[in-house]
Amino acid sequence: MTDTDLTMAPAASATSAFIPAPATPYQGDIARYWDHEARPVNLRLGDVDGLYHHHYGIGDVDHAALGDTADSAYEKKLIAELHRLESAQADVLLDHLGRMGHTDLLVDAGCGRGGSSVMAHQRFGCKVEGVTLSAKQAEFANRRARELGIEDSVRARVCNMLDMPFETGQAAGSWNNESSMYVDLHDLMAEHSRVLAVGGRYVTITGCWNPRYGQPSKWVSQINAHFECNIHSRREYMRAMADNRLVPQAVIDLTPETLPYWELRATSSLVTGIEEAFINSYKDGSFQYVLIAADRV
């Protein structure tokens, strides 16, 4: 089988047969970071329904569903609520892909444990190819796909999203769900532009620093240090897309919609210590949570 053959290889061989060397020392660090990540805030939320996300949530908190904080079941309900908001975020990303056919190929660039890939397949019925730097994440995602009996349609591979194993124009849709802050944006948009068919759709949900603030704030620097990433500005996204035949069709500021998630998360037992940086930077206007959907022209 060639790398670009769309027939899915058995999931185990897809990840264990060949693990490419990282393209840069930085990518090696990021692969190790995600290979070792096991934060309860991610695993316990994923355990709610088997969709494992590494992104944040949007939407209003359902206080009626949470009930009384004194209730012994409150923490369990809180975890379910945070997870519901994270899945709602992925749903909004998928909404912006538009209509996809059963025979289309979708590319989940920086797929993590594969939650968004599974949701995309469940919604559109088409093949979804995920790429991640982490062999552990790819194994996890492929195991979930096998457990769900969708391994012929959903697959994760260890590879660099700046050099993806897809033919030019092969994908009808592609996305980055909170994964674009690990790469040069011009290189990333050039690669999405290459793999997308003309008329295809690219969507990203990302945190970006706000050019109106001036420069990355101390909170943004703290988030970068926490995750070993490099948050770009909103301006850089626009420029990188414009330079690569990706024409924004929708730009949505999701900041007001993500704040309830963070404020709820800050009250939970699963806090990681980064909540204050997100809340403060969203509130002081230095950081924004945005969705950008673009047409490949």
Ligand X SMILES: C[S@@+](CC[C@H](N)C(=O)[O-])C[C@H]1O[C@@H](n2cnc3c(N)ncnc32)[C@H](O)[C@@H]1O
- Which of ligand X, Mg ion, ligand GPP, none interacts with 231 (beta carbon under 5 to 8 A by kind)? ligand GPP
- The DSSP symbol for 206 reads E
- Which of ligand GPP, ligand X, Mg ion, none interacts with 13 (beta carbon under 5 to 8 A by kind)? none
3-state SS record for 248-294: EEEEEECHHHHHHHHHHHCCCCCCCCCHHHHHHHHHHCCEEEEEEEE
162, two tokens = 């700046």
Q: Which residues in 2-21 contact ligand X (CB under 6 A)?
A: none
The reply to whether 267 sits near ligand GPP by the rule CB under 6 A is no
Tell me if 109 sits within 8 A of 131, measured CB to CB: yes
Tell me if 233 sits within 8 A of 210, measured CB to CB: yes
x/- site string to ligand X, residues 110 to 139, per CB under 6 A?
A: xxx--xx--------------xxxx--x--
The reply to whether 137 sits near Mg ion by the rule CB under 5 A is no
The reply to whether 193 sits near ligand GPP by the rule CB under 6 A is no
Helix (H, G, I), strand (E, B) or coil at 297: coil
Nearer to ligand X, 80 or 223 (CB): 223
Q: Provide, for the chain, the percentages of residues in helix, strand and coil under a 3-state DSSP scheme, each rounded to the nearest 5.
A: 45, 20, 40
- Which of ligand X, ligand GPP, Mg ion, none interacts with 223 (beta carbon under 5 to 8 A by kind)? ligand GPP
Q: What number of chain residues touch ligand X (CB under 6 A)?
A: 24
- Which of ligand X, Mg ion, ligand GPP, none interacts with 238 (beta carbon under 5 to 8 A by kind)? none
- Binding range to ligand GPP, per CB under 6 A, among 6-14, 38-46, 91-99, 155-163: 38-46
Nearer to ligand GPP, 54 or 234 (CB): 54
- The DSSP symbol for 35 reads H
The reply to whether 100 sits near ligand X by the rule CB under 6 A is no
- Angle of the 74-95 helix axis to the 115-124 helix axis, nearest 10: 60
Helix (H, G, I), strand (E, B) or coil at 121: helix
Sequence letter at residue 280: N
Output Rg (C-alpha) for the chain, integer angstroms.
Answer: 18
- CA dist 186 and 211 (Å) reads 18
Nearer to ligand GPP, 160 or 170 (CB): 160
- CA dist 120 and 145 (Å) reads 12
The reply to whether 59 sits near ligand X by the rule CB under 6 A is no
- Binding range to Mg ion, per CB under 5 A, among 39-47, 114-122, 157-165, 258-266: 39-47
Q: What number of chain residues touch ligand GPP (CB under 6 A)?
A: 14
| Cα angle: 54, vertex 131, 252; to 5 degrees | 55
Q: Residue 42 Cβ, how far from Mg ion at the closest point, in Å?
A: 4
Give the one residue of 30, 31, 42, 160 binding Mg ion; rule: CB under 5 A. 42
- Phi then psi dihedrals of residue 164, to 5 deg: -85, 150
Tell me if 68 sits within 8 A of 77, measured CB to CB: no
The reply to whether 121 sits near ligand GPP by the rule CB under 6 A is no
Binding residues vs ligand X (CB under 6 A): 27, 30, 34, 53-55, 110-112, 115-116, 131-134, 137, 160-162, 177-179, 182-183
Binding residues vs Mg ion (CB under 5 A): 42
